[in-house]
Amino acid sequence: MNVLRRTVLLGLLVLAGFLVFTAAQGKQKTGLSLSEKVRNLHDMNMKKALLRFNGQKFREYVKNAPRNYSVVVMLTALAPSRQCQICRHAHDEFTIVANSYRYSPTYSNKLFFAMVDFDEGSDVFQTLRINTAPVFMHFPAKGKPKGPDTMDIHRVGFAAEAIAKFVHERTDVQIRIFRPPNYSGTVAMITLVALVGGFLYIRRNNLEFLYNKQIWGAVALFFCFAMISGQMWNHIRGPPLVHKSKNGGVAYIHGSSQGQLVVETYIIMFLNAMIVLGMVLLTESGTQSDQKRGRIMAIAGLLLVVVFFSFLLSVFRSKAQGYPYSFLFK
């Protein structure tokens, strides 16, 4: 009986001791050695170029002291609930950078790319006192990140090239960006060609419409209108659709001669088209066989030309300060 109790006691003691030991073991095990960290990171990198950290891992690999590698971390909030649109783009760009680094010859264990999602590591955001996303931070191999270690996305944006440049500035690692080739354009082109070709094939018995000058003319004219009304400028500069002026009103015409709004260009396009139409009408009116029709066409054409040209002029005038001339109305 007491023998049994003793044994149990012993057993308990042993167990306790073991427990203590294991606990001790465990506690000692928490701080990974440098080599382990690097190995783990490397292994993780084998799987994914962009490491996804939660708060614990972040502390483990980024915050804690023994490091001979620097980490570029993107703090972001990808969860749809957060509805952060930029974060998505930023994430894509960042992944591009990470990948192109991962598969570049300069790849080494000196630099890792990682990201922390707000919903997985909100504590990280608190510790770093960050309440916006996305934020790109560089954690140098030694010492704490300083001011310039945070990328100023407001100025340089977060295009892959910009990030690569930032990385190059902070850690002298040149990364050449390899964007996954974007096939959408080519696909669209191919489909277009296919459609046209198919169309021609169907209509092969009468290709008369190819010789239809009206269609070609319309296309050419449309192209000209598009160019003259500055669609190319819109394409390159991407201006807003309309301006919201301070007093709540909506401005369709950009104030200065330097800029323009999308709606504005459409208006101009329309005006130009009307003027052209008017002139064509005028010219055609001479060739009409019956008089009434010709007369009507002439009048209509004249009105179109004069009215819309004066419109155009007044729009121009409103943009060019001090332009003296106007037609019909100011």
Partner 1 sequence: MNHSPGLVSRRSVGYKSLITFTVLLIAWLAGFSSRLFAVIRFESIIHEFDPWFNYRATGYMVQHGFYKFLNWFDERAWYPLGRIVGGTVYPGLMITSGCIHYILHTLNIPIHIRDICVFLAPIFSGLTSISTYLLTSELWSRGAGLFAASFIAIVPGYISRSVAGSYDNEGIAIFALQFTYFLWVRSLKTGSVFWSAGAALSYFYMVSAWGGYVFITNLIPLHVFVLLLMGRYSERILTSYSTFYILGLLLSMQIPFVGFQPIRTSEHMAALGIFVLLLIIAVLRHLQSVLSRSEYRKIYLFGVIAAAVIVFTGVVILTVLGVIAPWSGRFYSLWDTGYAKIHIPIIASVSEHQPTTWFSFFFDLHILACSFPVGIWYCIKNVNDERVFVILYAISAVYFAGVMVRLMLTLTPVVCILAGIAFSNLFEVFLKEDNNSNTFAHKTISYVEDHDDNSMEKKNLYDKAGKVKFRPKHDTLHETRSGIGSNLKSVIILAILMILMMFAVHCTWVTSNAYSSPSIVLAFHNNQDGSRNILDDFREAYYWLSQNTDDNARIMSWWDYGYQIAGMANRTTLVDNNTWNNSHIALVGKAMSSTEEKSYEIMTSLDVDYVLVIFGGVIGYSGDDINKFLWMVRIAEGEHPKDIKESDYFTDRGEFRIDSEGAPALLNCLMYKLSYYRFGELKLDYRGPAGYDRTRNAIIGNKDFELTYLEEAYTTEHWLVRIYRVKKPNEFNRPSLKLSERILTPTNYITKKNPKRRKGYIRSRPTVIKGKRTKKLQ
- Cα–Cα distance between 94 and 212 in angstroms, integer? 51
Q: How far is CA 97 from CA 73, 115, 146, 163, in A?
A: 12, 12, 22, 7
**Residue 29 or residue 204: which is nearer to partner 1 going by CB?**
204
Q: Please report, as ranges, the residues that interact with partner 1 according to CB under 8 A.
A: 147-148, 152, 154-156, 161, 165, 168-169, 213, 216-217, 220-221, 223-225, 227-233, 235-237, 256-260, 264-265, 268, 271-272, 275-276, 279-280, 282-283, 285-291, 294-295, 298-299, 302, 305-306, 309, 312-313, 316, 319-325, 327
**Residue 121 or residue 278: which is nearer to partner 1 going by CB?**
278
Supply the minimum distance, in Å, between the C-beta of residue 18 and partner 1. 57
Q: Cis omega before residue 148 (within 30°)?
A: no
SS3 107: coil
**Residue 74 or residue 304: which is nearer to partner 1 going by CB?**
304
Return the number of other C-beta atoms located less than 10 Å from residue 263's C-beta: 18
- Cα–Cα distance between 4 and 8 in angstroms, integer? 6
Eight-state DSSP code of residue 150: B
Strand ordering across the sheet containing 50-53 = 50-53, 111-117, 70-76, 135-139
Structure tokens at 206: 């009468």
- Cα–Cα distance between 158 and 162 in angstroms, integer? 6
CA 120 to chain CA centroid, nearest Å: 24
* Stretch (H or E) spanning 24: helix 2-30
Supply the minimum distance, in Å, between the C-beta of residue 308 and partner 1. 8
**Nearest to residue 328, comparing CAs of 296, 320, 317?**
317
**Nearest to residue 137, comparing CAs of 170, 162, 101, 177?**
170
**Residue 54 or residue 288: which is nearer to partner 1 going by CB?**
288
Supply the minimum distance, in Å, between the C-beta of residue 326 and partner 1. 9
Supply the minimum distance, in Å, between the C-beta of residue 145 and partner 1. 15
Supply the minimum distance, in Å, between the C-beta of residue 35 and partner 1. 31
**Residue 122 or residue 231: which is nearer to partner 1 going by CB?**
231
Supply the minimum distance, in Å, between the C-beta of residue 165 and partner 1. 8
Supply the minimum distance, in Å, between the C-beta of residue 106 and partner 1. 16
Specify the pairing of strand 250-251 against strand 70-76: unpaired
**Residue 51 or residue 305: which is nearer to partner 1 going by CB?**
305
Supply the minimum distance, in Å, between the C-beta of residue 103 and partner 1. 22
**Residue 148 or residue 198: which is nearer to partner 1 going by CB?**
148
User: Tokens 């504590």 identify what position?
Assistant: 123
The torsion angles phi and psi of 43, rounded to 5 degrees, stand at -60, -45
**Nearest to residue 94, comparing CAs of 164, 9, 168, 169?**
164
**Residue 53 or residue 311: which is nearer to partner 1 going by CB?**
311
Supply the minimum distance, in Å, between the C-beta of residue 140 and partner 1. 16
* Stretch (H or E) spanning 287: none
**Residue 242 or residue 276: which is nearer to partner 1 going by CB?**
276
